[in-house]
Amino acid sequence: MFPEMHHARQTFPRPRLENIQAAVREELGKLQLQRKLRKGARVAITGGSRGINNIVAIVRTTVEYLKAQGFQPVLVAAMGSHGGGTAEGQREVLTSLGFTPESIQAPILTGAETVEVGRTASGLVAYINKHVANLDGIVVINRVKIHTALVGELHSGLTKSCVVGLGGPSGAEQFHSLGIKELPACLRDIGNILIAKTPIIGGLGIVENGYEDTARIVAVEPSRFLEEDMKLLRLANELMPSLPAEKLDVLVVEEMGKNYSGTGMDTNVIGRFRIQGEPEPEKPAIRRIVVLDLSEGSHGNANGVGLADIVTDKLAGKIDLHNTYLNIMTTGFCLRGFLPLHFPSEQQAIQMAIKSLGLMDPRKLRLMIVPNTLHLDNLYVSEALLPELKGRSNIEVARQPIAMQFDRDKNMLNRLLTRAAGHATS
């Protein structure tokens, strides 16, 4: 029933910074913070809920730089409704990402309470975390990348970290209550209010390559957040990994989770939005998506599980309904929280996906296996995909086929996840 598979390795553009700490210090110097703040000023550094590579080193170096300038830095949770929308939950998320007072050499402030600092012409509220409203300055740090529910030129970046991250559950709920076509205007309008009325003194925009290496770190003045977010997004898109084929019968994702994407699986990689009333992307076109497990780093949050067609009982059993439903209800994208068909074993889950397509000659089945939707450099492809991949300069396919093997519990033996484990825990 299963086709023979071939191990494949994709290569992507790999610009990278060799000295992260030196880059952070150089960029922060461009902000001339000593001209904006008095000695002894208390300065917030934002800490989000995403597993950004080198983020602890970036924040720690920022702390060291601010101290050297005579300031008192603190890390403030900026993660919208993530962490269950509670101080304890936010601290748990930050700790899981490596943020502790000891690791960054600064206090950490968590809490979801916000204050209103203004309203847009359309009546949207500009919320800001209560902690930073009482501080002297804010340095926003975030990765710039394409978002899983945004269209246009503004996606995840410095502006979104202000509007949704520092906006807490209130800001996140308001943001996600809008249609996806309204979101860029929301980011722009509320972002401008926050920049004008809160002590934001600058930011560091981070761009990663397709291997999660830090490709660029850019200092940005508050007045240029919107402009630089759009500029850095174009670079991030150029470096973003993708599947090597646009049409698949079955895609097997070994693990989904919030540490890989805000929706567990990157909607831009799999070609599914699952937002009611919004059109689906034309490509990639995948007939069935099977997900085998939920990552430990997701802490039971299975937002995006509804993007799959079939999952395992193992995955279903790991779902924390409270955290998942809070995330789903905050975004308003209920379809993404629907539990797919689920089966006792990984072998059966994959078998049922194939069976649901009708009887197919295994030699014609377009099947691909990836560890997750973030790490796409190592994957398995079926025989039917080989002609399409032949001759591509950025992909190398092993000539020797391998058979899909399963253990006594019918879990897949020849997994890719261990090859990506170094990335997944970074």
Residue 422: pLDDT band (50, 70, 90) is: very low
Q: Does residue 204 share a domain with residue 276? A: no
- How do residues 290-310 score in pLDDT, each as one tens digit? 999 999 989 899 999 999 999
Domain with residue 180: its CATH number is: 3.40.50.11440
Question: Tens of pLDDT along 212-242?
Answer: 899 999 999 999 999 999 999 999 999 999 9
Q: Single out the residue of 183, 332, 328, 335 nearest to residue 273, CA to CA.
A: 335
- Same domain, yes or no: 218 and 298: no
Read off the pLDDT band of 154 (50, 70, 90). confident
> Taking 70 as the threshold, does the pLDDT of residue 55 lie above it?
yes
| Domain end (from 210, 239, 268) | 239
DSSP per-residue string spanning 156-174: BSHHHIIIIITTHHHHHHH
Residue 146 pLDDT: 83
User: What confidence tier does 424 reach under pLDDT thresholds 50, 70, 90?
Assistant: very low
Residues 269, 275, 281, 285, CA torsion sign: positive
Task: Extract the tokens encoding 46.
Answer: 């934002």
Q: Does the residue 195 lie in any domain?
A: yes
Domain boundary among 239, 259, 284: 239
* pLDDT, position 423: 41
User: What pLDDT, in 10s, does the model give residues 157-173?
Assistant: 999 999 999 999 899 88
Tell me whether residue 26 is in a domain.
no
**Average pLDDT, integer, range 375-389:** 96
Cα 325–Cα 331–Cα 336 angle in degrees, nearest 5: 65
Per-residue model confidence (pLDDT) at position 360: 75
User: Most confidently modeled of 142-151, 187-196, 318-327?
Assistant: 187-196
Judgement on whether residues 208 and 255 belong to the same structural domain of the protein: no
Helices (H) and strands (E) in the chain, counts: 15, 16
Residue in the block written with tokens 């995948």: 286
Residues 110, 95: one domain? Answer: yes
Q: Convert the pLDDT of each residue in 235-261 to its tens digit.
A: 999 999 999 999 999 999 999 998 898
pLDDT value of residue 277: 82
Please indicate whether residue 275 or residue 341 has the higher confidence score (pLDDT). 341
Same domain flag for 287 and 140: no
- On whether both 44 and 193 belong to a single domain, the answer is yes
The verdict on residue 20 lying in a domain is: no
What value does the mean pLDDT take over residues 50-73? 96
- In sequence order, the 6+-apart residues with CB closer than 8 A to the CB of 79 are 47, 48, 49, 90, 93, 165
The answer on 280 and 216 residing in a single domain is: no
DSSP letter at 277 equals T
Average pLDDT (21-33) is: 98
Q: How many domains does the chain have?
A: 2
- Cα of first residue to Cα of last residue in the chain, in angstroms, is 37
Domain of 293, in residue numbers: 5-12+241-424
Is there a single domain that holds both residue 262 and residue 408? yes
Question: Minimum mean pLDDT among 146-150, 272-276, 357-361: which range?
Answer: 146-150
Q: What is the DSSP letter of 80?
A: T
**Domain identity same for 35 and 59:** yes
Does residue 149 register a pLDDT over 80? no
- Whether residue 356 lies inside any domain: the answer is yes
- Specify whether 212 is located in the same domain as 328: no
Q: Which of 239, 259, 276 is the last residue of a domain?
A: 239
Same domain, 186 and 309: no
Q: How far apart are CA 181 and CA 151, in angstroms?
A: 7
More confident residue, 423 or 258: 258
Give the chain's mean pLDDT. 92
Most distant CA atoms of the chain, gap in Å: 73
Q: CA separation (Å) from 379 to 1, 43, 103, 302, 371?
A: 20, 44, 34, 23, 7
Same domain, 211 and 250: no
Is residue 23 a part of any domain in this protein? no
In a domain, 328, yes or no: yes
